[in-house]
Amino acid sequence: MYQVPNYTETVSMKLSEVLADIGVDERIVMKRRKAWLLRESIRNINHQLFDTKIISYYFGSQSEGTTTEGINSDIDQVLCPKNIPVIQDWSDWMPNVFINLLTIQDNSVSPGYCLLQALRHDAPLPINGESDQILFKDRTGKLLLKNSIVSILTRFGSETHGPARANSGRLGLSDSDNVFGLHCTTWPQQARQWLYQQGEGQWPSAEMKQFCSRTGCFVVGVGCSGSEHEQLEWRISTSLAERCLMFNLNITQIRCYVLMKIILKAFINPLFKDVISSYMCKTVLFNCIANTNSNIWRENNLLSCLSLCLYLLYNNIINENCPHFIIHGNNLMRGKILPAVKPHILEILNNIINSDGMALLGIKCDDLGSRLHLKFYNLCPFKKSDIISGILLFNLAVSLSENLKYTYNSSPYKAVKILKNYMSISFHCQYEGLDKTASHLLLPWYCTTLGSVLASLNIYHFNIISADALKLISIGLNTDVASSKLKLASILYCVQEIQKADLVLSEIERRYDLQIVEPVCNCHRFTKKPFRHAFNELCNTHNEEVLQYTTASCVRFLPCEIHCVPTDLRYEMLRSTQEDIIFRTEEDNKWMDSTVVDSLPYLYFLQYKIYSHLGRHGQKNAALFKLIRTIKEEQNLGHRETALNLLGKSMEQEGRAEDALQCYLMSLDIRGRNNAAKIHIASLISVLINART
C-alpha cells in the first residue's frame, strides 16, 4: 500500500480542514453545483418560453464548485443558438434551419480547431458566392464563416476577451464571460482516439467516456494565435464533457485543483498575468489523475497530490507544451511562455514544490496561510459556508426576479399573450430533475405578473378586479416574503378595497423578519453590503425552498400594469427626459420605463396611504417613521432614490413642503439623471407658487 510520511499526512489533514472551512467540502461543492445548474435551467426555460432560439450553459469554476470567495472566479456562460447546427458529415445536414455549418479539420488547420463551411438551408449543398463581412471564399471556392462574426453578435460596448464578452461584476459579485458558441451534436474527430485510451489511473472510466462522447462539442469564435487561418479558425470546446469529468472527481482532487488556482493567484498572476491559466491547471489535474494510481487521491495525502500536479505543470512549462486532455494535439501553452518569463515561473514553482508546504503559509488569498498556521495550534477560524450559501441563494433569487425581461415594453394584450403562452407550456411540458424545480420556482412569478396585467386592464375598463386576475395573483403570492403580496395590496388600494389591502399589508409585515430578510435587486450596479448573519445561516442549512422566507425582491410594475400603481408612484415610469435617455445603458432600459421600488419602503408607504385614508393617525405616523428609518438604515436598498421620492410625496401630504423638497434633492444626489424627483420638484414648486398667488 502507498505510504506517506507523518509530516506530509499531518500537513495534508490540516490543509484539508482549512479548505473545508473556506467552502471546499463535499456539501458546499454540491450546493454550488445545484445552485448554478438550477440557474441554468431557469434561463433555458425562459429561452424556451419566449422562443429566443438560444440555449445557455454555465461552465467553469462557479458551476463546478471549484472556487472560493478569495479566488472569485468568473462566471462562464456559453450562449448557443439552436438554429445553426454544426455538422461533421454531409449526412448530418438538417433542413429548416437558418444555416448548416460543416466542420473542416484537415492538416491545414491547427489541432483543436476547425474551419466552418457554410451550407445551403434548403439542400445539402455548399453556398456559392463571394467574400463579404461574415464569409470568406478560399482558394477552392468554399465559403468559410469568419470568427469575427462573434464581435457582430455581441452587444455594443462590451469588453471582448477572445471569443468572450466580459461583463463587470454586479453587487460586488463575480464578473461574467459570455461566450458565443455553436453546438455540434457529434464527438469531434480529433478527440475520438481519446475514447479508447486508458492510463494507470483507469480514469475516466469507459462509461464516463461514452457519456462524454454523447455530449458533442462546441465551436467558439477564436483562432489559434499565429495560425495561417487565425481569422477563420474556430476553437473546438469539450466543455460539456469536462463538466462531466469535474463532477466525477473526489474531494481531494477538487481541493488539489483549488489549491493550484490559489497558488496561481498568489504567486504567479501578480507578476506574470495570463501566462498560466486555471484551465491549464485543470488539464494538468486531469492528466495526473488519469496517469496515477487512484489510491493516492486521499485526504491525508493532499500535499503529495499537490506536489505531483505542480511538478507536471513545471515539466509542461519546461517543454512549453500542455496537451489538451481530450484533444492531445492542442498545445494550450503554444505561444504563451515567453523566454524572458519562463525561468522566473519555473523558479517560483520549484520553490513551492521544495518547500514541503511551507510556501502555503504565505498565501493571503482566503487567508489560507494564516488559517493553516492556526490549525497547527488546534485553533478553529470561522467557516465561510454561511457566507457562500447566502451568496448562492441571493443569486438564485436574482435569476428568478429577472425572468420578465421579454415583456418589459409589451402592450397589455401582447404581455397577456406571452404570459398565457408560458402558462400553457409550463403545464404541458414534462420537466424532470432541476428543470422541474426551476419550472416550479418560475410559475408563481408569471402567475403574479399575468394576474397583475389582467387586473390593470380590469381597472382601466371597469374599475374592478376580475376573479381570474385574483386567482392568478393568489397562485404567485409566495414568490418571496413581500413583492407579490405587495402587488396584490397595491391593486386593492387602487380599487379602493382599503380594508382588504390593510389585511394584506399586515400579513406582509408579520412575515418580514428584519433580522433575516434580504432585499433583492439586480436592476443596476451597486456594491452590496454583507448579508445578514441570520440570512446566511438559513441559506446554509436549507436550499431554494427558503426563498419565500428570506428574500424580498423589488416590486416591479411593467408599463402594461400601470393601473395597478398608486398615482404617486406612476411618475417612476416617466423618470427619463429626452436628455436623460441618452445616458441610459442597455441594462437601464430593462427597468427604467417601469415602476420599480424596494419591497420594505413600499410596504411602509402603502401603510401610510391606507392609514391616512382610514384616519388612523397613530399608525400613519408609525408607518412614516418606519419608512424614514428604512431609508436611513437598510444598507442594501437598490432604489433608495425611489424610496426618497415616496417619502417626499408623504411629506407633501403632511403639508411639510420644505421636508419634501429636501427628500427630492437627496434623491437626486443618489441618481442625478433618469429620476422622477425632477417631476416632483417641478410640481411642488408650481403648487407653492400657485398657493402664494
Angle between helices 640-653 and 599-614 (to 10 degrees): 10
pTM of the predicted model as reported, rounded to 2 decimal places: 0.91
Cβ atoms of residues 187 and 216 within 8 Å: yes
Q: Which grid cell is 592?
A: 427604467
Q: Which CATH class is domain 1-24+249-380?
A: mainly alpha
Per-residue DSSP letter, 266:
I
Tell me if residue 459 falls in helix, strand or coil. helix
User: Rounded to an integer, what distance in angstroms lies between the CA atom of residue 641 and that of residue 523?
Assistant: 13
Tell me if residue 511 falls in helix, strand or coil. helix
Instruction: List pLDDT tens digits, range 539-597.
Output: 999 999 999 999 999 999 999 999 999 999 999 999 999 999 999 998 898 899 999 99
Pairing of β 234-237 and β 113-119:
antiparallel
What pLDDT does 414 receive?
81
Alpha helix (H) residue ranges in 22-166: 26-49, 61-64, 149-153
Using CA atoms, how far residue 523 sits from 185, 197, 330, 402, 559, in Å, is 36, 49, 41, 9, 16
User: Rounded to an integer, what distance in angstroms lies between the CA atom of residue 215 and that of residue 218?
Assistant: 10
Neighbour tally for 224: CB within 10 Å? 19
| Domains of the chain, residue spans | 1-24+249-380
Helix (H) or strand (E) run with residue 212 in it: helix 206-214
Q: DSSP for 549-593? A: HHEEEPEEE-GGGGGGS-HHHHGGGG---HHHHTT--TTGGGTTT
Contact residues for 100 (Cβ-Cβ < 8 A; gap 6+): 85, 87, 93, 94, 118, 119, 120, 121, 124
Is the N-terminal amide bond of 601 cis, ω within 30° of 0? no
User: Rounded to an integer, what distance in angstroms lies between the CA atom of residue 173 and that of residue 395?
Assistant: 9
Residue type present at position 154: T
Residues of the chain under the 70 pLDDT cut: 1-5, 152-177, 403-409, 426-428
Using CA atoms, how far residue 175 sits from 62, 73, 137, 154, 442, in Å, is 11, 8, 37, 16, 25
Nearest Cα residue to 501 out of 514, 516, 515, 490: 490
Task: Indicate the length of the chain as a whole number.
Answer: 693
**Residue 35 bridge partners (DSSP):** none
Q: Which grid cell is 419?
A: 404570459
Place of cell 459579485: 173
Per-residue DSSP letter, 331:
B
Nearest Cα residue to 15 out of 388, 359, 389, 386: 359
Cβ atoms of residues 614 and 497 within 8 Å: no
User: Rounded to an integer, what distance in angstroms lies between the CA atom of residue 623 and that of residue 611?
Assistant: 8
Instruction: List pLDDT tens digits, range 498-543.
Output: 999 999 999 999 999 999 999 999 899 888 899 999 999 999 999 9
Place of cell 505510504: 3
Tell me if residue 13 falls in helix, strand or coil. helix
